[in-house]
Homo-oligomer: A and B are copies of this chain.
Amino acid sequence: MTEIKGNFRSITVADLAFPPREGGYAKGHETREAILAASLNLLVEEGYQAMSMRRVAAACGMKLGNLTYHFASREDLVRGLLDAVIRAYEIEFAAIVHMPGTPPEERLAEICGLILEDIRTKKTTRVFPELWALSNHDPFVFERVQETYARARAPLVEIVGEMRPDLSEDQRHDLALFISASMEGTTMFAGYEKPFEARMPMIETIAIKSFVDLVRNWEDPEPN
């Protein structure tokens, strides 16, 4: 596994979403993240097939050999990319979790709103379907993606717990699981379904209200 080292500046969502490209990157110490940005761009724009070593190298304005110098294999590149994307989102989520002492209901709404709006408007969203498809066949990608979602879910579980201390751990998890899955589907559709995109602001409102109400009122159904 190629380690990201030295004074490598960790890639932000913005970097990944709108990579600089004009006239080739390269040079100096940021080559690595330039490669990752170019890879992501190719992956999102033209799919995994297009993310070949040669095309990535070309997109960076460098030679193939130099790319293999930084990433020995294509798999290495995928792993590096995954790490970068995950790191970017973790920064995103970390910023969301730590919010001043507003009531949990508001924070739930805030978090969901941020995730829905923030992620939707970033190009990086589109990387997830690709990652899902990849994860279907690559255990490494599978585990990393799963891990990412679990981590993204943690603050949700926490807030649900604050709102409903009467619920069991399992119940909180179930609610958070449903909410995150629901958000995932929503942002997913937003990127792919044209009619959805236009109505997104209202859908977001619906989603958030639905989530808050759900957590507020949830009771396990009586066994019949």
- Name A's B-contacting residues (CB within 8 A): 44-50, 126, 129-130, 132-137, 142, 145-146, 149-150, 170, 173-175, 177-178, 180-186, 188-189, 192-196, 199, 202-203, 205-207, 209-210, 213-214, 217-218, 221
Of A46, A47, A129, most B-chain CB atoms within 10 Å: A129
A199 and B49 CA atoms in complex are apart in Å by 35
Interchain nearest-CB distance for A207 vs B (Å): 6
Among B130, B142, B170, B207, which residue has its beta carbon within 8 angstroms of that of A178? B207
Cα of A50 to Cα of B49 in the assembled complex, Å = 11
Determine whether the beta carbon of B214 is less than 8 Å from that of A206.
yes
| Complex alpha-carbon distance, A214 and B174, angstroms | 18
The answer to whether A133 touches B206 (Cβ under 8 A) is no
| Contact call B217/A46, Cβ cutoff below 8 A | no
The list of the 5 closest CB pairs from A to B, nearest first, reads A185-B185, A182-B182, A133-B133, A181-B189, A184-B185
Q: So how many copies of this chain end up in the complex?
A: 2
Contacts of A129 in B (CB 8 A): 129, 132-133, 136
Bound Cα distance A133, B195 (Å): 19
Kindly report which residue of chain B lies nearest to residue A142, judged by CB atoms.
B192
A185: nearest chain-B partner, CB-CB: B185
Docked-complex contact A206 and B178, CB < 8 angstroms: yes
Question: Within the assembled complex, what's the spacing in Å between the Cα atoms of A184 and B136?
Answer: 17
Are A132 and B135 in contact, with the CB atoms below 8 A?
Answer: no
B149/A173 in contact, CB under 8 A = no
Chain B residues, Cβ within 8 Å of A146: 192-194
| Chain B residue, CB-CB nearest to A173 | B199
Interchain CB contact under 8 A, B184 and A188: yes
By a CB distance below 8 angstroms, the chain B residues around A192 are 132, 135-136, 142, 145-146
Q: What residues of B have a CB within 8 angstroms of the CB of A126 in the complex? A: 136
Given A210-B210, A217-B213, do A203 and B178 touch, yes or no (CB 8 Å)? yes
Chain B residues with CB under 8 A of A196 = 177, 181
